[in-house]
Amino acid sequence: MLGELCVLLNTPGEKVHLQGLVGSSRSILVCLLSEEIPKTFVICLNDREEAAYFYDDLNTLASEVEALFFPSSYKRSVHYETIEQENIILRTEVLNKLKDGKQLLVVTYPEALVEKVISGEGLAANTFQVSKGDKLSLEFVNEVLFEYGFERVDFVYEPGQFSIRGGIVDIYSFSNEDPYRIDFFGDEVDSIRSFNIDNQMSKEPHSRISIIPNIQEDLKDEERISFLDFIPANAIFLLNDVQLIADQMEYNFSQTIEKAETEEERKKWFAKLLSGKAFSKEIKRFTCAGFGHKHFFSNSKTVTFQTGRQPVFNKNFDFMTSLRIYIK
């Protein structure tokens, strides 16, 4: 069964409908597939909560391929326009690692896909790479960070800030959940490590880091493209309900456009958002596997699994440990 599915998903543009997957059997299958097929997988669930549970499953299973969460930039939805900085960090991390060509398991949902992203070229042009051993003057670092829109403060506590104290530069990039501390010996980068903002304790050393500004809000002149144009062309999509995902994207798109009060504002949102109708067309060029109840692609091939819901074991742990999962 697994071998047959791998052959199908290795076929460019193939469409597959997965039947009989219940509960966490979907996340187990994704882990197994990612170990057999060295490509990026984009798993799109129906809403944020479902996506978050799936992402937690992947982390619990400790997949050999890194799993990342790709959320919306906004606290609730794009048409409420309340930015969540933590979400921008998560989005930037995904884009940065995709740019570097890493195989990933990206978990997302409609409200995240409706937002367009910076192009790969734009991301590269707005990335400041720092490596251990680099020759850099503090004046040059200060100038670059100002150009990127970073704010100089005494102590960093949120993304988009940096501080310089003697030969130590602290930078809170939008590419990492923790800030970086760069120690200089003269004009040479002596060490780089991330640190905890609460207790200032070092966490892990780095030989090379990427400093990225707020690519969602601060780069107003950069071209925006759909996330589907950013990911590798051979990426594999696994979707719960394609029609529901497209409908939810269309709703967010139309609600935001209708709220615009001027033609200029309307054009701005058109440039920043992807409609559900456009998504329905763009998704067809990718290899896709759907595990919802309905077939979205008319030419999809069906692969059926025999999984069932976990039986009630009433604290009988001997019975629980006897259960096994087999996927052939």
Tell me the domains of the chain and their CATH numbers. Answer: 2-122+216-321 (3.40.50.11180), 127-211 (3.30.2060.10)
Tell me if 174 sits within 8 A of 159, measured CB to CB. yes
Q: Which amino acid is at 216?
A: Q
* Contacts of 79 by beta carbon, 8 Å cutoff, 6+ apart: 252, 255, 256, 259
Query: Concatenated DSSP letters for 53-84?
Result: HHHHHHHHHT-SSPEEE---SBSS-GGG--B-
Rounded Cα gap, residues 297 and 300, in angstroms = 5
Q: Which helix (H) or strand (E) holds 230?
A: helix 227-230
Tell me the pairing of strands 168-172 and 188-195: unpaired
Q: Quick one: pLDDT at residue 225?
A: 94
Residue 189, Ramachandran bin (φ over 0: left; ψ between -120 and 50: alpha; else beta): beta
Dihedral angle, C-alpha 39, 13, 241, 118, nearest 10 °: 60
Q: What is the pLDDT of residue 315?
A: 65
**Helix or strand holding residue 136 (H, E):** none
Torsion of CA 187, 190, 193, 198, to 10 degrees: -70
* pLDDT for residue 327: 46
Element (H, E) at 284: none
Token pair of 55 as six digits? 């992402």
Task: Print pLDDT tens along the chain (328 aa).
Answer: 778 888 889 899 999 988 877 778 889 999 999 999 999 999 999 999 999 999 999 999 888 899 999 999 987 777 666 788 889 999 999 999 999 899 999 999 999 999 999 999 989 888 999 999 999 999 999 999 999 999 999 999 999 999 999 999 999 999 888 999 999 999 999 999 999 998 889 889 999 999 999 887 756 667 899 999 999 999 999 998 899 999 999 999 998 888 888 888 888 888 889 999 999 999 999 999 988 777 778 778 888 777 656 666 666 666 555 555 444 4
What phi and psi values does residue 300 have, to the nearest 5 degrees? Answer: -75, 145
- Region at 314 (left for phi over 0; alpha for psi -120 to 50; beta for the rest): left
Dihedral, 76, 236, 122, 219 alpha carbons, nearest 10:
0
Residue 23's pLDDT is 78
Please report where in the chains the tokens 């039947």 appear, as a residue.
19
Question: Contact at 8 Å (CB) between 131 and 93?
Answer: no
| CA atoms of 109 and 247, how far apart (whole Å) | 12
- With a CB cutoff of 8 Å and minimum separation 6, the contacts of 237 are 41, 42, 43, 44, 283, 286, 287, 288, 289
DSSP H or E stretch at residue 195: strand 188-195
Taking each helix axis from N to C terminus, what angle separates 48-61 and 25-36, rounded to the nearest 10 degrees? 60
> Which residues lie closer than 8 Å to 121 by C-beta, 6 or more apart?
none
